[in-house]
């Protein structure tokens, strides 16, 4: 059986095609997996575990069916769904993972990240990240009624689109020095992340040792999954019907 890694699905009610593909993926491939790891941005936005969006509830139910069948599922916060909380974990049966978790897959240590922490050249984004990840800010946000939370989220998303449109791609990409420093600090030779929507697997050098960075693809136009079994790992695209 294979261990599966995905990220950056950005599920939302406006994109039922992505949700449909993901639900099919859970019923078919994930159902026979050793484990499923979701490395952030499962949802385009998450305003709190009380979010009533019926499309999101369908996803929660499908994940619950997967974990009840005996397949372990792990999720990591992304820059879009960092408010996924304890109720989401209980309702789905998924286990939360801290950004920067090291796991062992088929005998190899692997550092798992969403990826935005490595984009250190995007100073304005990193400032915003520090604000929205502040526990006090999150506590105050969760206490707001539903409609103000929706309005704030829409405003932040609009700002994000403007920022993306006027910022050079290389600035929003990961910094090679940050990659090497992170891998050195965690004593790993393999890093797996998403966030940048640029699936690739470049070979790098960390302290004179050959190393590897694997970037998962997003699910905007097609799916993307890393399959890892005893024969090794492979990053695959999943064509959408």
Is pLDDT larger for residue 154 or for residue 222?
Answer: 222
The whole-angstrom separation of Cα 201 and Cα 216 is 9
Cα angle at 7 between 187 and 139, to 5 degrees?
90
pLDDT on residue 35: 98
Which one, of 226, 233, 235, lies nearest residue 36 by Cα? Answer: 226
Residue numbers of the domain that contains 164:
3-238
pLDDT on residue 2: 96
Site of tokens 């709190």: 48
What's the pLDDT tens digit per position in 66-93?
Answer: 999 999 999 999 999 999 999 999 999 9
Q: What is the CATH number of the domain that holds 195?
A: 3.60.21.10
What's the pLDDT tens digit per position in 42-60?
Answer: 999 999 999 889 999 999 9
pTM of the model: 0.94
Q: Where are the alpha helices (DSSP H) in the chain?
A: 16-27, 54-68, 86-92, 123-132, 135-142, 146-166, 169-172, 176-186
Q: What is the mean pLDDT of the chain?
A: 93
Total domains in the chain come to 1
Residue 77 has phi, psi (to 5 degrees) of -70, 140
């Amino acid at each position: 059986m294979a261990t599966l890694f995905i990220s950056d699905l950005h599920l939302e009610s406006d994109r039922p095609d992505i949700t449909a593909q993901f639900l099919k993926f859970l019923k078919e491939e994930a159902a026979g997996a050793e484990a499923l790891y979701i490395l952030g941005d499962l949802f385009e936005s998450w305003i709190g575990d009380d979010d009533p969006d019926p499309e999101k509830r369908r996803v929660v139910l499908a994940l619950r069916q997967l974990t009840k069948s005996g397949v372990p599922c792990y999720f990591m916060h992304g820059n879009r769904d960092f408010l996924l909380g304890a109720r989401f974990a209980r309702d789905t049966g998924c286990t939360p993972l801290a950004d920067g978790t090291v796991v062992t897959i088929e005998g190899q240590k692997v550092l798992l990240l969403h990826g935005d922490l490595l984009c250190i050249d995007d100073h304005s984004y990193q400032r915003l990240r520090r604000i929205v990840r502040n526990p006090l800010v999150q506590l105050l946000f969760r206490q707001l009624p539903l409609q103000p939370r929706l309005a704030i989220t829409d405003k932040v998303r609009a700002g994000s689109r403007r920022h993306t449109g006027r910022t050079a791609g290389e600035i929003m990409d990961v910094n090679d020095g940050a990659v090497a420093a992170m891998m050195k600090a965690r004593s790993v030779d393999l890093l797996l992340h998403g966030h940048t929507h640029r699936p690739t697997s470049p070979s790098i050098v960390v302290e004179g040792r050959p190393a590897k960075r694997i970037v998962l693809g997003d699910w905007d136009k097609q799916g993307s999954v890393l399959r890892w079994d005893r024969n090794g790992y492979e990053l695959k695209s999943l064509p959408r019907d």
